[in-house]
């Protein structure tokens, strides 16, 4: 990076431009296995600053400089999405306003933390139901750019369903608003002699000429963040064309978004939770299919190791809460502490939560689900009060954070952290997965948590990453697990996205032709490869090897 780019950007922008050692170090990590130290951090004050930044980068790139821009919002990505050795554009310092909350939507900037966004939407009793488990630490920028999902995705779908409009800065520094266009509106856009017009012309042709391939490659599982969502652009029911649906989930590789209009929902008010304590995983597929009949709003799970860690770190978790809540939860957790002390920890805890307009309706569903399991060898419990179910939610939501605590020098290593398989394949898939993982039982321990109702598993190995032989496991085990997942019609990532860790698997998942279409799409939006290079298109296994963290 030349000094002149820093000077040019400092002059061109109202926001800050820094290359201080602390700022670069902070932006060199997310929550993935990787580190990349950027050369500059830019904190734009507004969209004009983002435009000025991209224009300068465009000029520098055209004149042969090796520069690019990578967006960062909360920086909680688990795939390496916001990491770069070039320029980071950081949205949380200034572009952090909720612009409007309407009757069924909100307009927001990317740098708003979800926790603050929800405070605003709740003033109208509305929420974005696709919020992720990282809701306290992540921001809207990544929720949209990763196409995040979470505990309510089973009932409400992922963020792609709620993104209506995106104001974006394109790769030449021009701006556009992507939203649903009728046929006539699309034809008007195609007449524009700008990059926006070019994108509409070329994308319409690409989508039309390859419609069969794209439809054939549409993910068959209920959630997916892998690849570029070409299958989402044309809505056949409404006969509209919406590029916002493609930018959603594209990890900042096609455009930078500066304002989003997101649809919101009114959550159902009453919840009852059926908690299932399972000691024999062989009956898991049958349990899942029986419980799903009652249409839970959430169906989540965590394993014995997560359970034990939660008890171990209970004092730490309680410290972050007020005294009254901590005291109540401390008492609530006594049975769990006893289970750990006596070795009676269940292999897996499943939480099926039913949400309805009245507590009677919610309870009725939980009871029906419980009855359907009555003759199976397991323990169940119904929690009718949100205070009673809270402890289960705390363990589930904290499952990854628990791993990131200092566990005797072991590093929580997400590389098979988010695959999805159709739940009806569990009985065949899970024993095969166990066999693969069993080969590594002396080399690392791992926890499993996830969205069991969606078939979405979060497996996080805990490893001493400072040892080269352990780092090798990442590239040895990853392909084995993903081959199996793909052979059962699954996807490599349901919500955490591709980033550095999964981009190299896209050809395996989607085939040569479809990944060729991803490359063409990238080239249509970003011909100079300015936005977040190496993610979605062009990333390699050598990138994984080179940029993996080398100490715990």
Ligand X SMILES: Cc1cc2nc3c(=O)[nH]c(=O)nc-3n(C[C@H](O)[C@H](O)[C@H](O)COP(=O)(O)OP(=O)(O)OC[C@H]3O[C@@H](n4cnc5c(N)ncnc54)[C@H](O)[C@@H]3O)c2cc1C
Interacting residues toward ligand X by CB under 6 A = 30-31, 70-78, 81-82, 91, 110, 132-134, 138-139, 141-143, 145-146, 148-150, 251-252, 256-257, 400-401, 495-496, 532
* Residue 95 CB, nearest approach to ligand X (Å): 8
Closest CA to 349 of 309, 392, 319, 320: 392
How far apart are the C-alpha atoms of 122 and 191, rounded to whole Å? 42
* Residue 159 CB, nearest approach to ligand X (Å): 8
If phi > 0 it is left, if psi is from -120 to 50 it is alpha, else beta; for residue 354 that is beta
CB atoms within 10 A of CB 357: 10
* Residue 518 CB, nearest approach to ligand X (Å): 15
For ligand X, give the closer residue by CB, 251 or 470: 251
For ligand X, give the closer residue by CB, 365 or 446: 446
Q: Is the dihedral of CA 9, 11, 12, 16 positive or negative?
A: positive
For ligand X, give the closer residue by CB, 15 or 110: 110
* Residue 496 CB, nearest approach to ligand X (Å): 5
Residues of the chain by 3-state class (helix, strand, coil), percent to 5: 45, 20, 40
What are residue 140's phi and psi, to 5 degrees?
-65, -30
Nearest residue (beta carbon) to ligand X: 142
Q: Tell me if 148 sits within 8 A of 172, measured CB to CB.
A: no
Closest CA to 158 of 182, 129, 118: 129
For ligand X, give the closer residue by CB, 72 or 370: 72
Q: Helix count (H) and strand count (E) of the chain?
A: 23, 18
For ligand X, give the closer residue by CB, 73 or 454: 73
Q: Which DSSP letter does residue 29 get?
A: B
For ligand X, give the closer residue by CB, 256 or 349: 256
What are residue 3's phi and psi, to 5 degrees?
-60, -30
* Residue 74 CB, nearest approach to ligand X (Å): 3
For ligand X, give the closer residue by CB, 380 or 399: 399
Residue with tokens 């507004």: 46
* Residue 497 CB, nearest approach to ligand X (Å): 7
The sheet that has 40-43: what strands, in order across it?
A: 16-18, 40-43, 87-90, 69-72
* Residue 146 CB, nearest approach to ligand X (Å): 4
531 strand-pairing partners: 69
* Residue 140 CB, nearest approach to ligand X (Å): 7
For ligand X, give the closer residue by CB, 370 or 391: 391
């Amino acid at each position: 990076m030349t000094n002149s780019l820093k000077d040019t950007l400092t002059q061109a922008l109202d926001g800050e431009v820094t290359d201080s050692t602390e700022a670069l170090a902070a932006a060199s990590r997310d929550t993935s296995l990787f580190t990349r130290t950027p050369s500059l951090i830019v904190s734009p004050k507004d969209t004009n600053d983002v435009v000025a930044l991209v224009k300068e980068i465009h000029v520098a790139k055209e004149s042969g400089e090796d520069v690019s821009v990578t967006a960062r919002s909360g920086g909680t990505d688990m795939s390496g999405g916001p990491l770069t050795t070039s320029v980071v554009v950081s949205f949380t310092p200034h572009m952090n306003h909720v612009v409007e909350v309407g009757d069924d939507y909100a307009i927001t900037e990317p740098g708003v933390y979800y926790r603050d966004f929800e405070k605003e939407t709740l003033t109208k009793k509305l929420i974005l139901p696709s919020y992720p488990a990282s809701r306290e630490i992540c921001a809207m920028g990544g929720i949209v750019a990763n196409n995040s999902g979470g505990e309510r995705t089973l009932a409400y779908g992922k963020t792609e369903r709620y993104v209506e409009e995106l104001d974006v800065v394109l790769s030449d520094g021009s701006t556009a608003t992507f939203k649903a266009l009728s046929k006539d509106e699309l034809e008007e856009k195609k007449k524009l002699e700008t990059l926006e017009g070019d994108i509409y012309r070329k994308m319409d042709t690409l989508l039309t000429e390859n419609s069969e391939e794209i439809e054939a490659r549409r993910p068959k599982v209920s959630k997916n963040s892998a690849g570029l969502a070409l299958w989402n652009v044309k809505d056949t029911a409404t006969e509209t064309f919406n590029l916002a649906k493609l930018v959603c989930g594209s990890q900042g590789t096609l455009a930078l978004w500066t304002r989003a209009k997101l649809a919101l929902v009114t959550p159902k008010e009453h919840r009852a939770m059926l908690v299932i304590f399972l000691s024999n995983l062989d009956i898991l597929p049958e349990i899942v299919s029986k419980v799903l009949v009652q249409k839970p709003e959430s169906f989540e799970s965590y394993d014995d190791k997560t359970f034990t860690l939660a008890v171990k770190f209970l004092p730490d978790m309680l410290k972050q809460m007020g005294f009254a809540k901590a005291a109540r939860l401390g008492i609530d957790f006594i049975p769990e502490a006893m289970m750990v002390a006596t070795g009676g920890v269940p292999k897996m805890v499943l939480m099926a939560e039913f949400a309805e307009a009245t507590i009677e309706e919610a309870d009725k569903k939980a009871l029906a689900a419980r009855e359907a399991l009555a003759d199976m060898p397991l323990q169940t419990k119904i929690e009718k009060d949100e205070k009673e179910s809270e402890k289960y939610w705390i363990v589930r939501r904290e499952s990854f954070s628990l791993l990131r605590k200092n566990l005797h020098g072991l590093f929580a290593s997400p590389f098979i952290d988010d695959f999805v398989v159709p739940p009806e394949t569990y009985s065949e898939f899970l024993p095969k997965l166990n066999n693969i993982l069993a080969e590594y039982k002396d080399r690392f321990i791992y926890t499993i948590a996830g969205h069991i109702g969606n078939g979405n598993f979060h497996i996080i190995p805990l490893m001493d990453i400072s040892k080269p032989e352990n780092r090798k496991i990442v590239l040895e085990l990853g392909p084995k697990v993903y081959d199996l997942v793909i052979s059962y019609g699954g996807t490599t990532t349901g919500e955490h996205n591709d980033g550095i860790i999964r981009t190299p698997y896209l050809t395996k998942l989607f085939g040569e032709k479809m990944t060729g279409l991803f490359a063409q799409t990238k080239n249509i939006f970003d011909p100079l490869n300015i936005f977040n290079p190496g993610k979605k298109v062009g990333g390699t296994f050598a990138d994984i090897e080179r940029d993996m963290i080398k100490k715990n």
